[in-house]
Structure 1
């Protein structure tokens, strides 16, 4: 089955939203319990987010116009960076669960930074578009995800410095910022494709070697 670019982007945004929600629920459990409870959900949520980001990147690549506008390049680059960041997060949290906790937290910190950078690229790409509801929602959505991811890095740095209480609070706020950003992006992409003018059916089927071309030759 050949999925169109629009289908992949829409599916990717919804999967991202689901993944960010699972991640936030896991982070809430961890932060409120003060234990490793919820880490499994965090790892799964980040993996789901990475899959959603990858679908978006592939979909946006399919939708590239011949001009390859800078806004499109930023969006695709941002999606791939977010996929890489979320994958790194998932690996880091898995290491926290099954291996040296501090090493896993360092990897998780790096992943959040990469994710934040990718979301920032997506938001910057939207600023290059014409004024519209889609543009505004994409800027805010990408901005919230970027802020949430960077807060994740900051929270982990506090945890690495044995300031677990404030670190967990920052991680909790950051995770829910990402949920907010993800659902803003779902609204944005819905507006983008619902309001996109349909392609006009081609009514002129003229060919250079048609019967009419030959009939005009004397």
Structure 2
């Protein structure tokens, strides 16, 4: 059974939302208690987010026309960068817990930076598309995710420099901003998939009409 690109987009968006919620619950526990409580959820959340980003990248690749637009290339690149960033986050937190706290935080910081860059690419890709019902939502959602990831990277820098309290606060704010962005993105992608489906139906009906009038 072949999964359609539209289905992968929806699955990826919901995976990103679920992952970001799990990550944020873990980050909230960690920030409020000042302990490692919640790090296991952060690891799982980032892993689910990376999986969701990968599904989106594959879905968008399956939907590429023979001559893709620059906006579509930017969006696919952004998805893969986000997947790489979230995977790096998960690895970094794992290292932080089990191997070296300093090294783990540095890797986590890098991952958040890569994720911010990926979401920024997606926002730019959305901005280059034609005006539609989902265009502005896609820009907003990805911008929120990019900002939240950037704040997480900054928060980790504060933690590395022994300013743990303010660093944890920034991490918490960044995490919740990503959740907001993920909610917006689910709505945006739902509208985008509806638009794609409508276009396919119209194209099919037109082809049928042309065939039967020849």
Task: Give TM-score scaled by structure 1 length.
Answer: 0.92
Quick check: 106-115 or 123-132, which moved more?
123-132
| CA–CA distance in structure 1, aligned partners of residues 22 and 185 of structure 2 | 17
Q: Residue 66 of structure 1 aligns with which residue?
A: 66
Q: Residue 153 of structure 1 aligns with which residue?
A: 153
The structure 1 residue matched to 2:204, chosen from 196, 200, 206, is: 200
For the residue of structure 2 that corresponds to 1:58, the secondary structure is helix
| CA–CA distance in structure 2, aligned partners of residues 56 and 193 of structure 1 | 12
| CA–CA distance in structure 2, aligned partners of residues 29 and 128 of structure 1 | 39
- CA drift of 1:193 comes to 1.6
Q: Aligned ranges for residues 132-171 of structure 1 at < 5 Å?
A: 132-171=132-171
For the residue of structure 1 that corresponds to 2:130, the secondary structure is coil
Quick check: 106-115 or 127-136, which moved more?
127-136
Q: Deviations over 1:149-174 (max 9, x none)?
A: 00010000000000000000000000
For the residue of structure 2 that corresponds to 1:166, the secondary structure is helix
Quick check: 74-83 or 130-139, which moved more?
130-139
User: Unaligned regions of 5+ residues in structure 1, if any?
Assistant: 207-218
Q: Residue 46 of structure 1 aligns with which residue?
A: 46
User: Unaligned regions of 5+ residues in structure 2, if any?
Assistant: none
- CA drift of 1:132 comes to 2.3
For the residue of structure 2 that corresponds to 1:133, the secondary structure is coil
- CA drift of 1:194 comes to 1.6
Q: Runs of 4 or more off by more than 4 Å in structure 1? A: none
Size of the aligned set, in residue pairs, is 206
For the residue of structure 2 that corresponds to 1:93, the secondary structure is helix
* Pair 1:21 & 2:25 matched: no
| CA–CA distance in structure 1, aligned partners of residues 103 and 71 of structure 2 | 36
Q: Residue 128 of structure 1 aligns with which residue?
A: 128
- CA drift of 1:133 comes to 2.7
- CA drift of 1:195 comes to 3.1
Q: Residue 173 of structure 1 aligns with which residue?
A: 173
Task: Give TM-score scaled by structure 2 length.
Answer: 0.94
